[in-house]
Amino acid sequence: MIVMKQDATEEQIQAVVARVESVGARAQLSRGEEVTVIGAIGDREHVQRLELEGAPGVDKLVPILKPYKLASSQLHHGEPSVLEIGGRKIGGNHFALIAGPCTVESREQTLSTARTVKEAGATLFRGGAYKPRTSPYAFQGLGQEGLRLLAEAKAETGLPVVTELMDARDIEPLLDVADVVQIGARNMQNYALLAELGRANIPVLLKRGLSATLEELLMASEYILKEGNEAVMLCERGIRTFETAYRFTLDLTAVPVLKELTHLPVIVDPSHAAGRRDLVTPLSLAAAAVGADGIIVEVHPKPDEAICDGPQQLVAADFAAYAAKVEAAAAIAGKELSAVPAG
Ligand code: PEP
Ligand code: MN
């Protein structure tokens, strides 16, 4: 990171940018009220060899110790990123309520859930067509037929769709339907898939791996950002700990800590963390109150008959009451539910 002197001229700034670019690095200009800072993104060795210390207009070089340069809050003057998806804002003081079934099972189940969550003010609709299952013998999702049903739900309700991509070979049909691509916990470190999405023009919801540190999560997001896709949201969905009383341990400390480290929106998934319906509401309220930028939650008209994750899915008939509570908790953290397309 090259900090320019307060009185550095535009010429001096541009000269530094040109020198950074001459070694194949990217120069990200950040103009503050007081000083201009140039982030040199590329091979650290090459940039160091330029010996910019002492160059005209340069005040000092600050090595960025954080290896996630693009995800880091440092380059944005501490301002949070606000994504816009189908006219709905997410991030800053805009709170997203993302809801829908674990997986697309049938036309009726998908459309009725989409209608219910839309009625209750959801921001986005979720549903998997490609499912990462622990057992290769378990239901793997409806695939292309699932995508078709998601497209129908979107056409009817107007809700933008979040759906998971597991295999880069499915990217084209998936991008025809998805407004946000979810990368599941098990693929957080599938770097080839992340880079592929970095080259696509689509927002990404990146879930934290089951045993991933926050730095590993941020480095994974960097694979997407580095390719030019800036629309990334992070998602805390529970991590593995020694505790066995519930499915995963929802790491709510990650929310304020991530918000300090990165400008990217932070979403919480209470459903997969808890694995149990009765825990989903209290965890959602806590997540909203602690400052999450949104919640992604599973809802099903008849969870007892669900093909997967039945025990944790909220009953659709109870969803409106749940949404109202979450909205109130988000307000505690100064956030407003982003339900209808902004003006
Ligand atoms: C899901 O959202 O349906 C899912 C499988 O989540 P995770 O990758 O967090 O387990
Ligand atoms: Mn699920």
CA 40 to ligand 1 centroid distance, Å: 35
| pLDDT given for residue 93 in this prediction | 97
Walk along the chain (343 residues) and give the pLDDT tens digit of each residue.
899 999 999 999 999 999 999 998 889 898 888 889 999 888 777 887 888 888 999 999 887 668 898 999 987 777 999 999 999 999 999 999 999 999 999 999 999 999 999 999 999 999 999 999 999 999 999 999 999 999 999 999 999 999 999 999 999 999 999 999 999 999 999 999 999 999 999 999 999 999 999 999 999 999 999 999 999 999 999 999 999 999 999 999 999 999 999 999 999 999 999 999 999 999 999 999 999 999 999 999 999 999 999 999 999 999 999 999 999 999 999 999 998 765 5
Q: Beta strand pairing status for 83-85 and 88-90?
A: antiparallel
| Nearest one of 229, 173, 241 to 205, comparing CA atoms | 229
pLDDT of residue 207: 98
pLDDT value of position 65: 63
| Helix, strand, coil percent values for the chain (each to nearest 5) | 40, 20, 40
Q: What DSSP state is assigned to residue 188? A: T
User: Bridge partners of 299?
Assistant: 314
Instruction: From the CA of 186, give the closest atom in ligand 1.
Output: 8
Q: Which ligand is nearest to the CA of 187?
A: 1
Task: Ligand 1: list residues with CB < 6 Å.
Answer: 102, 128, 132, 184-186, 207, 237, 269, 272
Atom of ligand 1 nearest to the CA of 308: 3
Please state, in angstroms and as integers, the Cα–Cα distance from residue 140 to each residue in 8, 78, 104, 137, 272, following that order. 58, 41, 11, 8, 17
Q: What is the pLDDT of residue 53?
A: 85
Residue 233 confidence (pLDDT): 98
CA of 5 to the centre of ligand 1 (A): 47
Residue of the nearest CA to atom 10 in ligand 1?
185
Q: What pTM value is reported for the model?
A: 0.85
pLDDT recorded at residue 330: 98
